[in-house]
Structure 1
Amino acid sequence: MIKNMTSTVSSGEVHLLCIFRLQNDGSLKHTSWFTEPREEVFAALQYASDNLQLADEQQNNFLRLNEYRLQILRELGGQGFNVLVYHDVPDAPLEHATDNVFYSVFKYSSIGMALVGIDGKWLQVNDALCDLLKYSRDELLNMSFQEVTHPEDVKEDLNYLQLLLDRKIETYQLLKRYITREGKVLWAQLNVSLIWRRDGTPRFLVAQIQDQTESIQYRDHLEKLNYDLEEAQKTARIATFLIDLQAHTITFSKSVRELVSHWKGTMRFRSLQQDLSAEQYEAFLNWISRCQDSLKPEDLEVHLTGFVNASLLFKGRLDQHDHNRILGVVQR
């Protein structure tokens, strides 16, 4: 816990008391306090951890317990949750709100955070956001979020903003691209909530911006590897397969069509009978039994007698992590 923090963090209608970071099982990972720690707040934490699944399944990720308002945000990648605990208070001047909110956020937040006007102008930004976008605070405060958003992502962001203003949603999450001062494109997860005045008019947006560039690049890298693997399999006239022993199905990779054009996706064992003689089909079932009993790869050569006149070689092995599956390759 963070001691000696006496100023309460305000965001318009509510005070932000603390942020709990929870594991998927609801256990506490980290706490950031923006006020003196309060014992009763832990009751709100327990309530939130007991309702993570409920909040995760609904578009409205706000829960209420007595005078506390809980906002639950799932972290990108499903690694856990952020639980923001607010306390209802009368509306306060914007200057006072921004001073209190960002006094703590500047000091403790590792992700970019900002207050944004309805017109898109930055009202306040923290150090992490300045570091992320490579602009000074003064430079950002003279700009709008549209100016640092990738042109192709501006429309979607504005569409979500309109849904907020129309009160059709209370918050939104968006994976979008930003353009840094150096002209570099970076991906970030944006979480936005709209703070309203008590007279029902919109006040400002609270934005959390977390860099996801490395995650996106890694995902793209994996997609390219998978594409290259598929292409290599086509060239080599080879395909991978997974056999589900409980469902009695075999699932082929896309490249199986280079071997047998009418084989695709997931097939039941009996579907292979159209291409195998009774003797060959029995050999296929016996091969599956050998794979189950053996600790090493087992081979099977079959001759197709249906639509395709060809010989295929199956190489399979029992999945050591799941004994209900056989993994392998098939090739001509």
Structure 2
Amino acid sequence: MVNSTATVRVGSDEIKVAKVAHGLMMMTWKPEPTPEEECFEAIKASLDSVPAGCKMIINSGEFYGFNPRTANLELISRFFEKYPTYADKAFLSVKGGTKADTLEPDASPENLKRSVDVILEKLRGKKKLDLFECARVDRNVPIEESTKTLAGFIKEGKFDYIGTSETSAATLKRAHAVHPIAIVEVEISPWAYDEKTREVVAAAKELGVAVCAYSPLGRGYLAGKFKKLDDLHEKDFRRNMTKFKGENFEHNMAVVDGLKEIADKKGITPAQLCVAWVCSLGPNVIPLTGSSNKDRTLENLAGGDVQLSADEVSAIEKLMGLVKGDRYYGNDKMAHLME
């Protein structure tokens, strides 16, 4: 059982959640999806880990599937159909707000309604949609307007809470002024923590907003999962990310080796070290670890109970200065990052 918990405050509501969340994206958003029963065992492991009165944040997306696009939501629906007693243990957060056939942001009232309704349709009432978040900020729609639209859906009973993803500190504050934001999601790990992200964490703390830190293991790389580029499927999207490309892949292995050395001295795994470091950023910062395997899930969750010394944190931060590559595919290709 996970001992560490966090409290998400939304207005007068207080929701206790596990200190480490469970991302489900890579169960289905890859050329060869993980076998369903293996996914189910991983989800059960995370939900079984939380104490009574606490929930586990599980994170999905309207578009987390190759074919069909809604494969992740359909997987979740089948899970809760098979295990209905687990529904109350889960706090389900789902990304949407992109166009129906691309990943381009579209926060128009019409498309947000389409996105939310698709999510609800695929869930089939087997699990309540607790929180909806736009996957990216739409430059063409003021955040105040999209937040107002989502607040209207709350009044209609479609979901209970609003989240944001890849939102700058300034935009988070603007959205929160219209309606309380429960969670802001942004990438944080020992190889992804720049000044803009620090500003988001600080703003979230000021506002009482929880931070879901996605990819805390550097998309598996920092956990030592990959030794060479060929360890990734030829169609894996990570092959196109700058930290995985060319000489950067080899160079960044020095960071992996350094993390492993620190973890070995502490008697934990590199994955648990990464999770613990993200947790050390503040009580409102919740690592969102992705896993399709039961044992890996339990390993990640246990990282939330690890305490780091000041010297260990300092050693990790020194390694962060060695990283080569940006967060995605090159800044020119990520026009909607941290708006």
- TM-score (norm: length of structure 2): 0.24
Structure of higher RCO (CA pairs closer than 8 Å, 6+ residues apart): 2
- TM-score (norm: length of structure 1): 0.24
| Higher normalized helix content (fraction of residues) | 2
| Higher normalized strand content (fraction of residues) | 1
Larger radius of gyration: 1
